[in-house]
Structures are given as C-alpha cells and as structure tokens.
Amino acid sequence: MKKTILSFNFALVLVFSFLFSGNIFSQTAPLKYFIQSYQFESQSYDGNGTIGSDFSEILIGEIELHNIPWLRLHFSDLNLGNESYLIIRSLFDDQWQKLDAVSIKQWYNYSAYFNGDVVEIKLFLSQTDRNVFIKIDEVVVGEWSDGNNTESQCGPTDDRISSNQPATARLLSIGCTAWIIPNGKFGTAGHCLDGSGADVVEFNVPPSLPNGTLQHPGPQDQYSVNVATKIFSNSGIGNDWGVFEVYPNSVTGLMPKQAQNAYWPLVQDLGPDSIRITGYGVDDGTANQTQQTHIGPNAGSSGTTMRYVTDTEGGNSGSPVIDGLTNVAVGVHTHGGCSSSGGNNNGTSLFNSAFWAAVDQGSGGCPVELPSNPNPANGANGIPLNLAQLTWSNGAGAVTNELYFGTNPSSLTLVQSGSLATSWTITGVTFTYGTNYYWRVIEVGDTCSTNGPVWSFKTVQDPNLVQWCDAFTNLSNWTIVGPLGTANWTANSSSSAGGTPPELRLSWSPSFTGVSKIRSTVIPLPANQFMTYSFNYFFDWYADPSGVVTVGVTYDGGATSTILYNQPDATGNVGPTVMTGNFTTPVTGSANTQIEITYNGYSFNYDYVYWDNLCLEYITPVELSAFTASPNGTDVELRWTTATETNNKGFDIERMISSDVFEVVGFVPGFGTTTEPKTYSYTDSKLSSGKYSYRLKQIDYSGSYEY
C-alpha cells in the first residue's frame, strides 16, 4: 500500500541442502555476459505531415564499447510512431536488424545480438509520425571465453562432428538447443524454459572465435521467443520437456519453419537401435556451442525415459533424440550421465503423454507445410483502397486450402475454399482508409490441415485526415493550471494506460483536496467541424470517494469548457482502455481550441491516473488542388479542381462586395466521396467593370463547412 511505511529488523538464516544422484545432471551452458549501463537519448523527430512521401533517413548515432566480442541493446523508452523504423547495423560484419513499433515490442525492447564492439543506429522517419525518439539505458556485453569448457562425453574421446541440420537451433541466453516440430513450434528441455533465460533462438550459427567465445548469426536468423507460449515440465528424467513459439523474424517477416524449410517428424518409439543427438554443446575453440552431432547405441529406453550412449555436453539440453536409422525425433535430450568410464545419457520420450499433447500430435503430426510469400507482404502499410487481389505460395502437401479474411484477427470470415488456390480476387470488401486487415490460409492435406500464420496489412491513410496527437514525450504542449496539485503532473516513463512509455501521469502525492487541471496549447480547428477524439486511460483506484476525472475542450482560454469524457467517483480501477468519442466545434472560437484534463476530489483516494496518445482528428472534406478565375467580356469563368472529396455536398461561390464581406452568387453540387480528381466550373455573368474577388465555401452533408 502506498500510504503506510513499515520497518523491520530481522535476522536471515540460509539453509542449503544438496541432493546428489550419481553423475546425472542437466546440460545447459549459459551465455557469458554482463550488463553495462549506457545512457543514450536521441532528439525527438517529427515528419513533415505529407502522406505518401519518402521516409527521411537519419543517422541517430553509434553505440560503442571497446574490446568486446558482441553486444545487445536495451531500449528503456522509445516511440517509433505508426510507420517509422530503426536499422541497427554492426560495423564489424555489416549484419543488420530492422525494428518497428510492432517488432520492438516482440523483442521486449531489446535488439538482436550483434558481433563486434560498435553498432550504428539509423532512423527511417515516416512523414506522418511525430515525437519519434529512442532512449538506451544499458548494453548486454559478451564476455571473452577462458577456453576452459568442461566436457563429459561417453568414453575417453569426444566423437561429435560438425553438422548443419537446418531445423535445429541454439537457444539463448540459457545455453540450450531447440528444434522445429511439425506445427512450426519448438521442442526443448523443460529446464531450459523454467526461468527467464530462454529468449532468443538462433539458426545458422557461425564458428566461435579461436578461444571459444561465441559469435552470433545475423539478425535474419535470430527469433525472439514469445514467452507467453511456453509450456513445460521440469520434473526430472522422463518428465522434463518444453514447447514454445517465437515471433516472426524482424528482418524477413518469416517464421522459422518457413525460413529453414525443415522440421523434425515426431514418432513414439523406444526401440531404435541407434540414437543420434544433434545440438549446441560446449567444446574447445571454434566448435564451442556450434552445431555438432554424434550417434551411439540405445541403452535400454523404457516408458517415458530415453537412454543412450551418445556423446553430449553442456548446451545439448533440449536437443532432439533422433532415431539414427529413420531420422525422426523420438524424444528430447535432458540429462547427462556419461563419464569417461561409461554410463549413459538421458532424455524424455514422446510416450510422455503431456509432452505428446503439448506438441499437438496424435498420429505423428501433419506433414502439410505452411503457406508463404504473402502479397501484400505481412505488416505492409499504405496499401491502396483499390487493392484487387491477395496472393501467396502454398506449402508442400496441400491438396486444397481455405482463405479467411477480416478486420478482427481472432474472428476471420471464410471467403474462399474448395480448390488449391494461390490467389483471391477480392470481392464483397469495401476498403476504408487507415484500417488494419488480416488474412490466413489454411492448407488442407489428405488427412490433416495446417493453419498458416495470420498475415496483416494496413490501408493508406485518408489523405484528408488531419490529426493533432500527443504521446506525452514531455509536457511541452501543456500548461499545468492547478490551482492545486501543480507538482503532481509528469510525463512518466511507464505504460500503465496501455500505450508505450512515456505517458501523462497524475500522482496522488503530495495530496490535495480540490481541483487540479492541465491545459494544452492552442489547437486551431475549423468551425462547425465534426471531430473525433481518443486516448489511452487508466485510473488506479484506492478508496471512495475517488473524485471526478474529466477531459474537455475550451474555446476561450478556460473561461468555459465542454466536457467530452466524465468519470464521476469510480468505485474501482478503470482501464487500461481506449476512450473514444466525438464532438462538433462551434461556429466561432474553434481557432482557439484547447484540451483540458481535470481532477476534482481528494487525491489520497487514488494511486495514479494515466493518459496517453491523446488525439483529435477530423476529415477535411475536400482537398482543393487548383482554383482560377478568368475574365471573358462581362463574365468571369471560375474553375477549380479537387484531388479527393469526402462527404462533399457542394460549393457555394461567394463574391466580395466590400472589405471582407462576401455574398453567395451560386452553388455547384459536389461528388460526395471520391478519391479521383474532379474538375468544376462556374460562370459569374453580366458584371460591370471593376475588380472582383471570389472564394469557395465547401459544404458537406452534415452541414459542416470550410472555406
């Protein structure tokens, strides 16, 4: 609780107990590293607001630590907007990673691993993004190997040899092995997942340095583990297994099964004569924790336990236990037990019913491969509204397929089935601006089917959309009015409202009773304009009465205000959620619009209140691209062209009759809503000699207008 401070004096007694059982041990080889504090903050960047224009390439800087073998960045805070992205490049081997607003979350605000001691960071800034920035607070730094890697092979010699099996990966930072199973997930040992150390999967691992220091593949071969998908048991030999999934690669957009074009078939079998183990065990020199393999005899497997006299080392935990003859996986390697004088190593067999269920098997798995090569590409932005077709490549083994499409990724609609299609001609869909669309292909085989990944794209933003948004990078757009709680408002490095750090926070302390208010800078808006608003919000309740929270607008500097959102005395937490609504600006005063956020009550009765991503939006009904007037005798011919129109009823043509005073001389109907250029004309006839000025009053169907 926040209101009471407790002090304790205590004595701590630690009791350690150890249980030894022969020479049996799990076989991890944790990555050797340390955390280096490193403070780096970019400036905040704004696009120029031009929709469809090229990205701006900006060199943000270099991160360098001398004489280290590899590094990994941690971002304490950043905002990449909707479309901007980073390219992080190693200056040692030129390998690079792309990170956007989606993938940086999937990487939990970390980068991939980079070899060398310096990386370059470039920002590719979308012209429609604002307040784009990054902050780095620490670097994960690789340690040099001392070359003393313990080996515990079966017999007097290490008989492993180098291999390059494409479905078998290195799992870091725990230092284990993981492998692709038929449904595209990964199998490994349960003790490899029991903790926070399993966060990156690496394929195509390069040789280590001569002293055994690990080196990493390029980010195109690194995948961030989706920690929410981990399922495992860490209950000793015969009941030690794990299954997990990863996010798409941030460079290629592919999942591992697609990129590697390989997986391990699964079979329940205790009787193979020979057992092969392929994985990333420790070794001397350049072979250290690179992929190696060895085959040895079955040592009497039974029940849920596999036993074999096959060489393994630390780092082999999680390796597939492979039938040496048929090359299928029959279990997962978990524990060493060999010594130079004999013994056997151990794993969990696929007869473990929980393991078998976790890998989604039943009859050995579905052999139908995943679809690939989506067009539009997965995650594509700026797709035009006239998109006519979706295309993809089918996976091997598919006989027919099904296509699902929609705007809700968890509830897609079947739109095509019955044949082995590679495309869908889009029918029955009217695309809207700035909308995310999702689609999935299910590949159907003779006896089973394989669900493809959910792909997505976002349509082009409405060219007539006008936005004012604040992500609360700081409070430069706001004035703390008070009169109370003036020290309680901050741009806090948190994401409690559901956005990304930072966010606006109102603290309970120092406590006050009464009104505390914060007011935005002036936001000029059109008169009589239909507006929408949205913001992320979280109210952290503490006690009743909790007070009144409002968000409103003022057109006269705060003398009066119009409430948009009102929360009177919540009796529990509210949110995190996104609040949305609409309002119409007045005929006069809209050019002086300001947003006001207010709390009225006893601040002791809440913990914190959070807001983020506060936006006002409206659609400019018409994008006027030309307006000309030409005399013709006693007539004036007016011509104008629009690039796009939204809800356009038409135009009043107004002629000036005195200084700043106009009269309506005619009306021309509009085209409603169109994305195609339209040309208009009007002739003002039988005029006397003189100088004339004209203007257009655009009117939409709601009655809103704009000059």
pLDDT at 5 over 60: no
Least confident interval from 102-116, 362-376, 385-399, 409-423: 362-376
- Rounded alpha-carbon distances, angstroms, from residue 213 to 33, 142, 146, 198, 528: 11, 9, 8, 19, 67
pLDDT bucket at 151, cuts 50 / 70 / 90: low
Domain 161-358 has CATH 2.40.10.120: yes
Six token digits for residue 493: 């490095």
Instruction: Delimit the domains of the chain by residue range.
Output: 33-142, 161-358, 395-459, 467-618, 622-706
Average pLDDT for residues 217-235, to the nearest whole number? Answer: 95
pLDDT bucket at 361, cuts 50 / 70 / 90: low
CA separation for the pair 698, 647 (Å, rounded):
10
Q: Specify the pLDDT at position 446.
A: 83
pLDDT bucket at 121, cuts 50 / 70 / 90: very high
Q: For the domain covering 395-459, report its CATH number.
A: 2.60.40.10
pLDDT bucket at 367, cuts 50 / 70 / 90: confident
Interval 605-651: pLDDT, tens? 999 999 999 999 987 767 777 898 999 889 999 999 887 788 789 99
Least confident interval from 87-91, 314-318, 542-546, 673-677: 673-677
**Torsion 100-102-105-107 (CA) sign:** negative
Q: Specify the pLDDT at position 364.
A: 45
Least confident interval from 116-120, 176-180, 350-354, 687-691: 687-691
CA separation for the pair 288, 310 (Å, rounded):
18
Domain 622-706 has CATH 2.60.40.10: yes
Least confident interval from 490-499, 606-615, 655-664: 655-664
Least confident interval from 440-449, 481-490, 550-559: 440-449
Least confident interval from 36-40, 657-661, 689-693: 657-661
CA separation for the pair 145, 284 (Å, rounded):
10
pLDDT bucket at 73, cuts 50 / 70 / 90: very high
CA separation for the pair 184, 246 (Å, rounded):
9
pTM beyond 0.95: the answer is no
Domain 467-618 has CATH 2.60.120.260: yes
| Range 33-142: architecture per CATH | Sandwich (2.60)
pLDDT bucket at 130, cuts 50 / 70 / 90: confident
Question: In this predicted model, which residue has the larger pLDDT, 21 or 561?
Answer: 561
Q: Specify the pLDDT at position 4.
A: 32
CA separation for the pair 322, 329 (Å, rounded):
4
Q: Specify the pLDDT at position 118.
A: 97
Average pLDDT, the chain: 89
pLDDT at 426 over 90: yes
Domain 33-142 matches domain 622-706 at the CATH topology level = no
Q: Specify the pLDDT at position 621.
A: 67
Cβ count within 10 A of residue 27 = 29
Least confident interval from 41-55, 276-290, 405-419: 41-55
Q: What are phi and psi of 487, to 5 degrees?
A: -95, 0
Interval 98-112: pLDDT, tens? 999 989 999 999 999
Interval 191-217: pLDDT, tens? 999 988 899 999 999 999 999 999 999
Q: Specify the pLDDT at position 150.
A: 55
Q: Specify the pLDDT at position 158.
A: 87
> What is the DSSP-derived secondary structure letter of residue 52?
T
pLDDT at 13 over 70: no
Residue % of the chain over a pLDDT of 90:
68
The closest of 618, 217, 156 to 342, measured between CA atoms, is: 156
Cβ count within 10 A of residue 149 = 20
The closest of 386, 498, 407, 509 to 457, measured between CA atoms, is: 407
Q: Specify the pLDDT at position 12.
A: 30
CA separation for the pair 386, 675 (Å, rounded):
10
Q: Specify the pLDDT at position 589.
A: 93
